[in-house]
Chain A
Amino acid sequence: MFKLELYKTLAATLLATTMLTGIAQAQESDTAAYNGLWNAKKDISGGVHYPFKDGKTGPYVLNPQVYEDSDISKGKDGLKKGFNNGRLATSNELQAWDKDIRPDGIGLPEGSGYVDEGEALYEAKCMSCHGDFGSGGGGYPALAAGKAKEIKRMLKNNRWLNPTAEGPTRVIGSYWPYASTLFWYIRDAMPHPKSKVLSNDETYSLVAYMLYINNMKVKGEIVNETFKLDREKFLQIEMPNKNGFIPYIDGSDGIENIRTFFQNAQNFGGIRLAKGEEPCMQNCQQTDNIVRLNGGITDFEPAMSVERNLPQKVEAVSFDPKAAYDNNCAMCHETGVAPPAGNKVKWTPYLKKGLAAVLQSAINGTENGMPPKGGSSLSDDEFKQVVEFMVK
């Protein structure tokens, strides 16, 4: 019934009435199933728009006390009335939450920072995840991969004809269209274990450092260790891949550009049949080449099983602090970011306040980039054993 009603509501003008006598008939004629409305008012995403009409939207019935017929193209939202819930936001509240930053500089605060300040901050708070010079690792994204303009050329390295060739590299310098994203994201979402702790000046210095490790220039000026970034200079940053995105969404034509783009299925790898056109039913493939799994990805957690049984009792295995260290801590503690296990000399300054203090910092995380419990999900007791193993 739902399907039938849907057709009634949306496609009556396109379908012969004989097709509306039952679901079976409707299915038989399904290539005529366009509701036609994407032509009348083309949906911005390329899909079908289901207006409010005759008390329904698609198959759903609407409360007629609240809703009426809608026509978005004429600005009719289909609402009979509104409701005065909530209260006006205060100016302080708006100031506290309205902190987004746009490419045109709206929202970008005053402030400044140097590359070398950013480097020191990066090494303290960011490197444990993002690696040396933004090289990435451990599932955390790389931030740089060399000279931005050169890396950008790799965006055309598509492995569609040669699966084993070198692919594209999408890092800040080669891919991101605007630097505003960088400032906004670093200040409000980083460092990952505890965000919203960086000042505007600190954020400027970190953005400057990002430009530095991506070998970028700002208005012809090479970003070197002594480069200072402030609001004025920030607004002059031109990211190398600024024009690398389609459709063009900015300005007064932005919305219509999107609509036009998604009307053409070829733009996004889709197939849209003409009205009444049948899909291919015979000899549709140009190849009979079967590509099978080559090992593939199998490290699923929990391991795949479809058994209907009771879970096996987990034997109490003795906890191995070294194994836990290797899995959770070594990424930083064995790479020079933080003191390695068993190195008494390097641990001495940390132990001045006693083992309990070290343990407390390790469990709660520190301002200097140590995530709480190293980001592990170990229990407090297990984690204590790991710390004791490390400082031994």
Chain B
Amino acid sequence: MKSHKQILKNSSDVIQTDGKIDRRAFFRKTGAISAIAAASVVAPSVLQASQDDPNIMHHPQWGQIWGDPVSENLYGLPSAYEHNNTRRYTKLLASGNYRAAIAVTPIHESEGIITPNGLFFSRSHGGTAHIDPNKWRLMINGLVEKPIVLTLEQLKRYPRVTRTHFIECPANGGQEWRRPQYNSLQFAKGFMSCAEWTGVYIKTILKDLGLKPTAKWMLAEGSDNSEMGRSVPVEKVLDDAMLVWGQNGEALRPEQGYPVRLLLPGWEGNLCVKWVKRLEFSDEPWYAKEETSKYTALKPNGKAVQHFYANEVNSTVVIPSPEKPWTSIKEGDEVEIEGLAWSGMGTITRVDLSFDGGNNYVKANLKGLILPKCWTRWSYMYTIPKGFKNKDGKQIILTSRAMDDAGFVQPSVDQEIFGYGVAKEDYGKDKDKGMGVESVYHRNAIESWEVSENGEVNHVQIRTI
């Protein structure tokens, strides 16, 4: 198979040998044409021949010469022009050599509710393990009558189920408790992705193993060098917990735990142990490293929330976003504001949209499939006002707020920090109320984009302190 780079190189050769089109000039021209078309008062016949689009007037090379034979790219790759649609990482969120680190999903380029496997966010505690599926084994032991070992082939004999769920790192947005940090949707909200998973309900495997009544907890342990482990209540295991090997119609990618990972629908990504090798049942929880020293949310009273399972209801405006601004949009244009909503507590029931940073809301519209513990798309049609300003003369600030069928609604920044229903003059007085700003994890306050006079979109927070 050709590498991405080789293909890019060839394509670029093709462009460079095509000397007929001065690319700069043609961008200038198309810009002028768009401006005229946008005015939309000029009849087509009035346009001069000089305004003809060379993209229409000249045969593009791809329309004349052979394309690739089908023997090329037997595992298909994105168009070379899509090379900027990629995971990204930053030094801030990494050990020195990027082995305990995260690469985040370009949410701003996301389409629909499925993240392509190559763009699914990647988080590991000791690097991406590369496992030989023939040598992979799963052990299930502890408080079961019959401790067993399974090969991958044996695991795949169980009846399969396929479910579409998001997985979210609970540190999604976690760098922004004290102020906005990223002028980027990818980094502000991209510690998550959504996929269709195929595997087996763990309870199907347990049925014949004889789970003992004293079993209250399950340890899931990874086979990577960090042996990432987490304690899971048996109740969740007997509900919808899965061992999955399929992701969007193919095998899991190594970054997602190939050949098998744990999937606890709706619960924090860290619990969905990758490269899983062992499940043990016990009467008490374990206190693994990533459920005490990390993945615990420190509150103002000095206590930290542990075993903080579900990712709470959340949402964001995707179009526009800092990466996808409204700089080519003008007054009077009718545009679709589109976004994502998700909840690990249940199913999205409603999304509201604000143009003033969450002070006043209108109802937005859900669209497409609306599934439990899954990304849900929402939309609102909007006519752009002059200068991207509200009637009071202030710049638009787009803020979305989602609700789920468990009755949860996203808090404002102040509400999450100081507590719901606390008056401004009482902020910080009751240390048992609110999450404060040191939690790192499970931040789900509303997110705001301020639109500048020329259509740029900037990340802001509406907050008292």
State whether B97 touches A254 (Cβ < 8 A). Answer: no
* Closest residue on chain A to residue B138 by CB atoms: A86
Q: In the complex, which of the residues A168, A176, A271 contacts B438, with contact meaning CB atoms closer than 8 Å?
A: A168
State whether A38 touches B406 (Cβ < 8 A). Answer: yes
Most buried by B among A181, A273, A313: A181
- Whole-angstrom distance from the CB of A35 to the nearest CB of chain B? 6
Residue A348 CB within 8 A of the other chain: no
State whether A72 touches B239 (Cβ < 8 A). Answer: yes
State whether B306 touches A246 (Cβ < 8 A). Answer: yes
State whether B11 touches A82 (Cβ < 8 A). Answer: no
State whether B300 touches A156 (Cβ < 8 A). Answer: yes
* Closest residue on chain B to residue A32 by CB atoms: B349
State whether A300 touches B90 (Cβ < 8 A). Answer: yes
Please name all residues of chain B whose beta carbon is closer than 8 Å to the beta carbon of A194 when the two chains form the complex: 225
Main secondary structure on chain A at its contact with chain B? loop
- Whole-angstrom distance from the CB of B119 to the nearest CB of chain A? 13
Within 8 A of B (CB), among A33-76: 33-35, 38, 43-50, 57-60, 62-63, 66, 72
State whether B292 touches A284 (Cβ < 8 A). Answer: no
State whether A268 touches B94 (Cβ < 8 A). Answer: no
* Closest residue on chain B to residue A269 by CB atoms: B435
Q: In the complex, which of the residues B155, B238, B346, B350 contacts A72, with contact meaning CB atoms closer than 8 Å?
A: B238
- Whole-angstrom distance from the CB of A304 to the nearest CB of chain B? 6
Please name all residues of chain B whose beta carbon is closer than 8 Å to the beta carbon of A189 when the two chains form the complex: 125-126, 225-227, 289
* Closest residue on chain A to residue B180 by CB atoms: A293
Stretch at the interface among A97-105, A204-212, A220-228, A379-387: A97-105
* Closest residue on chain A to residue B397 by CB atoms: A290
Residue A281 CB within 8 A of the other chain: yes
Residue A258 CB within 8 A of the other chain: yes
How far apart sit A30 and B348, CA to CA, in the bound complex (Å)?
Answer: 10
Residue B414 CB within 8 A of the other chain: yes
* Closest residue on chain A to residue B423 by CB atoms: A286
Q: In the complex, which of the residues A78, A288, A299 contacts B462, with contact meaning CB atoms closer than 8 Å?
A: A288
* Closest residue on chain A to residue B155 by CB atoms: A85
Please name all residues of chain B whose beta carbon is closer than 8 Å to the beta carbon of A38 when the two chains form the complex: 406
Stretch at the interface among B59-67, B333-341, B453-461: B453-461
- Whole-angstrom distance from the CB of A184 to the nearest CB of chain B? 7
- Whole-angstrom distance from the CB of B131 to the nearest CB of chain A? 15
Please name all residues of chain A whose beta carbon is closer than 8 Å to the beta carbon of B8 when the two chains form the complex: 310-311
State whether B403 touches A279 (Cβ < 8 A). Answer: yes
Chain B, residues 135-147, CB within 8 Å of chain A (1/0): the string is: 0001101100011
Residue A8 CB within 8 A of the other chain: no
Name the interface size band of chain A: 35 or more
How far apart sit A274 and B444, CA to CA, in the bound complex (Å)?
Answer: 19
- Whole-angstrom distance from the CB of A158 to the nearest CB of chain B? 4
State whether A30 touches B233 (Cβ < 8 A). Answer: no
Q: In the complex, which of the residues B149, B267, B310 contacts A86, with contact meaning CB atoms closer than 8 Å?
A: B149
State whether A33 touches B405 (Cβ < 8 A). Answer: yes
State whether B181 touches A297 (Cβ < 8 A). Answer: yes
How far apart sit A4 and B139, CA to CA, in the bound complex (Å)?
Answer: 41
How far apart sit A315 and B67, CA to CA, in the bound complex (Å)?
Answer: 28
Q: In the complex, which of the residues B300, B303, B347, B444 contacts A246, with contact meaning CB atoms closer than 8 Å?
A: B303
State whether A86 touches B148 (Cβ < 8 A). Answer: yes
State whether A86 touches B372 (Cβ < 8 A). Answer: no
State whether A47 touches B406 (Cβ < 8 A). Answer: yes
Most buried by B among A10, A159, A249: A249
Chain B, residues 270-300, CB within 8 Å of chain A (1/0): the string is: 0000000110101011111100110011111
State whether A269 touches B416 (Cβ < 8 A). Answer: yes
State whether A266 touches B436 (Cβ < 8 A). Answer: no
State whether B180 touches A192 (Cβ < 8 A). Answer: no
Residues of A within 8 A of B (CB): 2-3, 6, 10-11, 27, 30-31, 33-35, 38, 43-50, 57-60, 62-63, 66, 72, 77-79, 81-89, 93-94, 97-98, 100, 102-104, 129, 138-140, 155-163, 167-168, 170, 172, 175-178, 180-181, 184-185, 188-189, 192, 194-196, 244-247, 249-251, 254-255, 258, 262, 265-275, 279-294, 296-302, 304-311, 313, 331, 371, 375-377
The 10 A-B pairs at the shortest CB distance, nearest first, are namely A82-B207, A47-B345, A375-B97, A48-B346, A82-B208, A269-B435, A86-B150, A45-B310, A138-B96, A45-B309
Extra A-B contacts (14), CB below 8 Å, given A97-B278, A286-B424, A293-B182: A6-B370, A48-B372, A59-B371, A87-B148, A158-B437, A160-B465, A181-B292, A195-B226, A269-B435, A270-B444, A284-B358, A309-B81, A310-B83, A313-B12
A sample of 15 cross-chain residue pairs with beta-carbon separation below 8 angstroms, ordered by A number, consists of A47-B343, A83-B207, A98-B141, A139-B95, A158-B437, A158-B438, A244-B303, A245-B304, A266-B420, A273-B403, A281-B361, A290-B357, A293-B183, A310-B11, A311-B12
